[in-house]
């Protein structure tokens, strides 16, 4: 074989290897984009889809990572159709990452201030740290999820002086929930659910405020219909009375990227974290934050409230951050 033939064979082999690498990169990018497209497509269609899409929707902002990786692969592969696909996905993700729901401030005269704390204490494990946080931060209203009988007894013992009023659904494990209040409470019909979701009406310096603790079932594989049904019941409770000021707080097991949660916001409730500029701050799982997580713990308020400050508290022995919000109730809507 002469020298020219050898050089041609070597060049042909190098070109073949380059072509194979480009095909591999294009295929990897297509797989990444296909997975992201399914989740984004459900967000566009305003549906929560099925497992695993329902679960992945809670982490929608993190889909920027595989989308970015796919875009890099398309550039290396010189796959221009794929590049357009990735840019379209990037644009849709950027659009949906924007806060959802209304943010109009109330126009009436401010009449009373409220500090609200919600905490999932993970089967009662975080009760002690929660008691310390309540004593330190002095919230007016405390919404406690996964409060087992031991948790309920300790809250009654340690916080009876500061929060003498309570509404509870007792239960073991994750089923128990308690609302604690500095202000007098009268009973209201709880929202039925697998886990306790008590309700009450607080008398806050002569102003009635509806209180609803939220703790629907999480969207576990095979149980997404139950999760949607229980979020639907919370929506029905929110829509039942749109004139009385309301606070819905707890572990919603849903983010703003879930259609079932957005239906609750569509009743006129607003996420206090969004109003205070912290709508994407993760609250779960605590063990991976702040590097990775989703905001599934919320304080939702009706249009008569303004939110001035929100803090996320890292409590020991629970997988959720607590949410602490300062609110002001205004006259009228």
The per-residue pLDDT string of the chain (333 residues; one tens digit each, 9 = 90 and over) reads 565 555 555 566 687 788 899 999 999 999 999 999 999 999 999 999 999 999 999 999 999 999 999 999 999 999 999 999 999 999 999 999 999 987 788 988 999 999 999 999 999 999 999 999 999 999 999 999 999 999 999 999 999 999 999 999 999 999 999 999 999 999 999 999 999 999 999 999 999 999 999 999 999 999 999 999 999 999 999 999 999 999 999 999 999 999 999 999 999 999 999 999 998 999 999 888 777 899 999 999 999 999 999 999 999 999 999 999 999 999 875
Pairing between β-strand 246-251 and β-strand 185-188 as defined by DSSP bridges: unpaired
Please tell me whether residues 12 and 129 are part of one structural domain. Answer: no
What total of structural domains would you count in the chain? 2
Please tell me whether residues 323 and 214 are part of one structural domain. Answer: yes
Q: Tell me, what's the pLDDT at 333?
A: 58
The answer for residues whose C-beta is within 8 angstroms of residue 148's C-beta and 6 or more apart is 123, 124, 171, 172, 173, 176
Query: Is residue 216 within a helix (H) or strand (E), and if so which, with residue range?
Result: none
Q: Which of 97, 119, 140 is the last residue of a domain?
A: 97
Task: Return the SS3 of 231.
Answer: helix
Please tell me whether residues 225 and 301 are part of one structural domain. Answer: yes
Helices (H), the chain: 3-44, 53-57, 64-77, 80-97, 127-137, 149-158, 224-240, 259-265, 272-275
Q: Which residue has the tokens 């042909």?
A: 12
Q: Tell me, what's the pLDDT at 17?
A: 85
Structural domain boundaries, residue 24: 3-97
Q: Tell me, what's the pLDDT at 18?
A: 84
Phi-psi region of 191 (alpha: psi -120 to 50; beta: other; left: phi over 0): beta
Asked if residue 103 is part of any domain, the answer here is no
Q: Tell me, what's the pLDDT at 122?
A: 98
Specify the CATH number for the domain of residue 239: 3.60.10.10
Please tell me whether residues 118 and 206 are part of one structural domain. Answer: yes
Please tell me whether residues 131 and 92 are part of one structural domain. Answer: no
Please tell me whether residues 276 and 189 are part of one structural domain. Answer: yes
Pairing between β-strand 141-145 and β-strand 110-120 as defined by DSSP bridges: parallel
- pTM as predicted: 0.93
Q: How far apart are CA 238 and CA 83, in angstroms?
A: 44
Q: How far apart are CA 170 and CA 119, in angstroms?
A: 16
Q: Which of 54, 72, 97 is the last residue of a domain?
A: 97
Question: How far out from the chain centre does Cα 277 lie?
Answer: 14
Q: Tell me, what's the pLDDT at 12?
A: 62
Q: How far apart are CA 67 and CA 132, in angstroms?
A: 42
Q: Identify the CA nearest to 99 among candidates 255, 262, 279.
A: 279
Q: Tell me, what's the pLDDT at 312?
A: 97
Burial per residue of 14-41, b for 16 or more beta-carbon CB atoms within 10 angstroms, e otherwise: eeeeeeeeeeebbeebbebbebbbebbe
Please tell me whether residues 131 and 234 are part of one structural domain. Answer: yes
Which DSSP state fits 115?
E
Half-sphere exposure of 201 (CA within 13 A, CB side): 10
Q: Tell me, what's the pLDDT at 203?
A: 98
């Amino acid at each position: 074989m002469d020298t020219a033939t050898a050089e041609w064979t070597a060049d042909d082999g190098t070109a073949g290897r380059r072509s194979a690498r480009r095909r591999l990169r294009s295929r990897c990018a297509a797989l990444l984009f296909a997975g992201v497209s399914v989740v984004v497509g459900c967000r566009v269609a305003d549906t929560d889809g099925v497992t695993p899409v329902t679960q992945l929707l809670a982490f929608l902002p993190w889909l920027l990572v595989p989308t970015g990786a796919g875009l890099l692969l398309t550039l290396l592969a010189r796959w221009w159709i794929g590049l357009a696909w990735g840019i379209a996905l990037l644009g849709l993700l950027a659009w949906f990452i924007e806060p959802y729901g209304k943010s109009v401030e109330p126009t009436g005269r401010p009449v009373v201030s409220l500090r609200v704390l919600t905490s999932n204490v993970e089967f009662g494990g975080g009760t002690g740290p929660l008691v310390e946080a309540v004593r330190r931060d002095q919230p007016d209203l405390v919404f406690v999820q996964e409060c087992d009988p031991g948790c309920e007894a300790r809250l009654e013992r340690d916080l009876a002086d500061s929060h003498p009023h309570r509404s509870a659904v007792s239960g073991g494990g994750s089923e128990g929930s308690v609302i604690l209040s500095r202000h007098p409470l009268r009973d209201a019909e709880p929202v039925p659910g697998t886990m306790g979701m008590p309700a009450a009406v607080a008398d806050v310096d002569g102003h009635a405020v509806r209180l609803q603790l939220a703790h629907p079932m999480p969207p576990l594989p095979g149980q997404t219909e139950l999760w949607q049904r229980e979020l639907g019941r919370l929506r029905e409770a929110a829509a039942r009375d749109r004139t009385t000021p309301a606070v819905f707080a707890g572990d919603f097991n849903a983010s703003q990227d879930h259609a079932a949660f957005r239906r609750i916001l569509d009743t006129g409730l607003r996420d206090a974290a969004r109003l205070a500029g912290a709508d994407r701050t993760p609250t779960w799982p605590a063990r991976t934050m702040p590097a990775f997580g989703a905001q599934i713990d919320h304080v939702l308020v009706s249009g008569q409230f303004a939110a001035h400050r929100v803090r996320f508290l890292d409590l020991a022995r629970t997988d959720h951050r607590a949410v602490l919000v300062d609110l002001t109730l205004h006259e009228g809507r």
